[in-house]
Amino acid sequence: MFYTIKDTRAALKNGQITSEQLVRNSIETFNKDKSAPIPLNAFIEMYDDAVAKAAAADKEISDARKKGADALDKLFAEKPLLGIPFANKDNISAKGHRLTCASKILEGYIAPYSATVISRLEAAGAIPLGRCNQDEFAMGSSTEYSCYGPTRNPINREFVSGGSSGGSAAAVAANQALFGLGTETGGSVRLPASYCGIYGLKPTYGVLSRWGVVAYGSSLDQVGILGHTPQDIAEPLSLMCGADTFDDTSADLPDGKSLGNLTALSDAEFSALKIAIPKQFLKTDGADAEVIKTFEETRAWFTKKGAQVDEVDIPVLDAAIASYYVIALSEAASNLSRFDGIRYGLRVDNGQGYDELYVETRSKGFGPEVKRRIIIGNYVLSEQFSGDTYKKGMTVRARIQRDVADVFKKYDIILCPTCPTAAFKLGAKVDNPLEMYLSDLYTTFVNLARIPSVNVPSGRKSKDGMPIGMQFAGAMFSEKKILQIAQNWENDHPDVGVPVKD
């Protein structure tokens, strides 16, 4: 099996393997896993047209091969991901396929169009394999809040995969897909990447179009990418990025197209780096000893390679997670009001009028965590509180954006752990919402500041043998730089992002 996009593309070009074989292998693994005593449950279902699309890609490759090497090179220059299968999160629309956000309330819903990120990947020849499990409406940090049951960690199935993009992360880590799409509101790509021991990027807000992605917190949401290497993230990013007329919040990424061939920084460039470590994240409260130790080793790696590493004071970060949940839950309450049992999805009608239909559908359609967040969001937005709590949350956010931007006037990246802990056992936090929310302690400031950040697998394990991740966060639109630094990390630690091998 080929573990990277580069290796798989080479194998497809020279006929070592076919796209149909890749897709059928994933389907076979999926079907086998469904009947396993402890299923991984990364994919919810495989798309019924994936094999046909793979066969069409194989024909394109075969026809070009008959014309000679130049024709083959031209084909892959035009479609660099031709025949490459990828995993899709269940809140990203793929035309003609079910889209449920892992919720009963969208039971039976079929996406009428594809999200821009899906369309752009398909234009580059990539093949959507199927939809992956997630926390319901992307609300969670463990992929336990799903109507399809939890996704388990492929390294140890007694542990969570992280969330809310846990299905995509587990699929990539288990080598059921070469790369995967997830979404982020407060850490939902980086956190499962950390728990599953792979790379995961949250881009700058607007770099990837949100058209066709079901909204949770609109001012925070962003599509992210999960992969085995920085290059496996950079290449899909280069093909999906750019302004979209369907999304007014979308933006062009400078040098985005050059990411298709990611290169590490030279020794001279690396030694010129300035690394900021927020003092607020040096507190050990709630952080596992293994995470702190791994962080210090990562810090030492930067110093050893000649980078300047300084501790900086950003006091407002202490309020980041509180500000995040005030804003995110308020926006969630507003966004999810559209799920009413009338327009699409589940409909529970007892014939007593629209109000009862609305109440019954939402009561039976939403799970407990989604209900909790809607209730909190509506409480914050209620007349007697919105003038105080919500506005204060927005004020803190503005301060975070300003203070973090000031840090990047002097420094290239902010370095900190991705999560306070490694993956925990299933059920350990599911009934303790506050403890679950604190899993996002180090990630939410990135979403509030609208900057990019990448999780890098450290290669270190917790006492339970689970992966530990670190994150490199950069200034807005600095995806190229943080991915280059991640590539330096990959070059010095070549085995950290490899998938789980059965």
Q: Are 222 and 203 in contact (CB under 8 A)?
A: yes
Question: What are the catalytic residues?
Answer: 89, 164, 188
Between CA 348 and CA 195 the distance in angstroms is 38
Q: Are 187 and 449 in contact (CB under 8 A)?
A: no
Starting at the edge strand that comes first in sequence, how are the strands of the sheet with 453-461 ordered? 43-46, 127-132, 85-89, 179-184, 222-227, 199-202, 453-461, 467-474, 413-417, 274-278, 308-312
The H or E element that residue 407 is part of is: helix 391-407
Q: Are 94 and 121 in contact (CB under 8 A)?
A: no
Q: Are 25 and 3 in contact (CB under 8 A)?
A: no
- The Cβ of residue 49 has, within 10 Å, a number of other Cβ atoms equal to 15
The H or E element that residue 449 is part of is: helix 444-449
Between CA 10 and CA 23 the distance in angstroms is 17
Which structure tokens are listed for 232? 């496996």
- Kindly state the DSSP code that residue 389 receives in the 8-state scheme: I
